Amino acid sequence: MTMPLPFPPILKVGVFPERIDQKLHQTFQLFEPGDLDGDPALCERIEGIVTRSNYRIAEALIDRLPRLRIIATNGVGYDGIPVEYAQKKGVVVTNTPDVLNEAVAELALGLLLSLLRHIPAADAFVKSGAWQTAPFPLTTTLAGKRVGIVGLGRIGREIAQRLLPFRVEIAYFGRTRQDLTWDFYDDVEKLAADTDILIVCCPGGPATHHLINAAVLRALGPSGVLVNVARGSVVDEAQLCAALAGQVIAGAALDVFNEEPLGDSPLRGFSNVVLAPHMGSATNETRLRMADLAIDNLSGFFKTGQALTPVG
Ligand code: 8YV
């Protein structure tokens, strides 16, 4: 006799790393969106969705699931979920904050140092043998620079803490001033004008869409650099490409893009750009912690009616 599963059936939206997928299947009876087609009875049974922050949940999907009670995403970002629509229908939305702060902050520092010191190009320079016939060009130091953090939330504060030992000045842009000694800006263009480095780590979504535009890039200036570990939507990518091509700024390091995976984009052709495949939280330790938190959100909610980390 098979033991009844302790939880109602869950719809899995998205492809998960194998180890995470295994954990999800060990805990829940999972179905995929294709399973819903032609099976109205299954649509009636689904009470939860588990997904990832780089997938979008359509309102129409929520409408197909009359008994849906919770949407749990693996990730801190939930800009792909119609949260207000879901909450109006009584659906709780949860994310996985904090467990990935360190991993994303580490990547931001790695991208920044790679960009300033041209580390990827230096690696290729030595491996190609070019060092036999010429010295590698001089680059620039992080120490002594002024860094503007766009979005001093949990990840932004972890980035700031990791920057301080590099003897930099810190300033930040956000909705509200925080009880800190660092300079606060409520205008991102003014922050860009007053800093050498902009690090974008704010949430994605309508409030930050194309926050970094041509005017901000002009303000950052010809020796300025941009790092984005937030969402591609925060930066106007076409205007960034124009700024890079026109040497309006000195360079950019990007982990996120308007379209992912990045396709045939001009960004791939610039020498003053460092690119990464949306890997901020992509470490074994971090992704397991994210999955555990998403699973705990679902299981805890079904047991007690309370989720651990519901979004605002
Ligand atoms: C992951 C992210 O890429 O947490 C987020 O919002 O963008 C990253 O951690 C995403 O969660 C997919 O797993």
Q: What is the mean pLDDT of residues 129-144?
A: 98
Q: How far apart are CA 265 and CA 258, in angstroms?
A: 10
With 80 as the cut, is the pLDDT of residue 85 above it? yes
Q: Does this model's pTM top 0.85?
A: yes
Query: Ligand 1 center to residue 139 CA distance, Å?
Result: 32
Query: Ligand 1 center to residue 165 CA distance, Å?
Result: 27
Q: Assign a CATH topology to domain 10-99+284-304.
A: Rossmann fold (3.40.50)
Per-residue confidence (pLDDT) for residue 91, from 0 to 100: 98
Q: Residues in the chain, how many?
A: 312
Query: Ligand 1 center to residue 128 CA distance, Å?
Result: 35
Per-residue confidence (pLDDT) for residue 240, from 0 to 100: 98
Instruction: Render pLDDT for 41-53 as a digit per residue (tens, 0 to 9).
Output: 999 999 999 999 9
With 80 as the cut, is the pLDDT of residue 1 above it? no
Q: What is the mean pLDDT of residues 266-280?
A: 98
Q: Are 200 and 152 in contact (CB under 8 A)?
A: no
Instruction: Render pLDDT for 160-208 as a digit per residue (tens, 0 to 9).
Output: 999 999 999 999 999 999 999 999 999 999 999 999 999 999 999 999 9
Please tell me which residue in 278, 285, 287, 289 is annotated as part of the active site.
Answer: 278
Q: Is 210 a catalytic residue?
A: no
Ligand 1: residue of 12, 24, 50, 54 to mutate (most ligand atoms within 8 A of CB) is: 54
CA distances from 216 to 88, 137, 251 (A): 36, 28, 14
Per-residue confidence (pLDDT) for residue 2, from 0 to 100: 53
The torsion region of residue 305 among left (phi > 0), alpha (psi -120 to 50) and beta comes to left
Q: What is the mean pLDDT of residues 134-151?
A: 98
Closest ligand 1 atom to Cα of 204: 6
Per-residue confidence (pLDDT) for residue 312, from 0 to 100: 82
With 90 as the cut, is the pLDDT of residue 4 above it? no
Per-residue confidence (pLDDT) for residue 294, from 0 to 100: 97
Decide if 10-99+284-304 and 101-275 have a common fold: yes
With 70 as the cut, is the pLDDT of residue 120 above it? yes
Instruction: Render pLDDT for 207-256 as a digit per residue (tens, 0 to 9).
Output: 999 999 999 999 999 999 999 999 999 999 999 999 999 999 999 999 99
Q: Give residues (CB < 6 A) around ligand 1.
A: 52-54, 74-77, 100, 278, 280-281
| Upstream peptide bond of 137 is cis (omega within 30 degrees of 0) | no
Q: Is 278 a catalytic residue?
A: yes
Average pLDDT, the chain: 96
Ligand 1: residue of 98, 290, 293, 311 to mutate (most ligand atoms within 8 A of CB) is: 290
Please tell me which residue in 32, 44, 260, 285 is annotated as part of the active site.
Answer: 260
The b-or-e profile of 193-213 (16+ CB within 10 A means b, else e) is bebbbbbbbbbbeeebeebbb
CATH number of 101-275: 3.40.50.720
Q: What percent of the chain has pLDDT over 90?
A: 96
Average the pLDDT over each of 2-16, 32-46, 62-76 and give the range with the smallest value.
2-16
For the chain, the domains span 10-99+284-304, 101-275
Query: Ligand 1 center to residue 287 CA distance, Å?
Result: 9
Q: SS3 breakdown of the chain: % helix, strand, coil, rounded to 5?
A: 40, 15, 45
Cα-to-chain-centroid distance, residue 225: 19
Ligand 1: residue of 100, 101, 228, 233 to mutate (most ligand atoms within 8 A of CB) is: 100
Q: Is 260 a catalytic residue?
A: yes
Q: Where are the alpha helices (DSSP H) in 178-283?
A: 188-193, 214-220, 237-245
Q: What is the mean pLDDT of residues 29-50?
A: 97
Closest ligand 1 atom to Cα of 54: 12
Closest ligand 1 atom to Cα of 231: 7
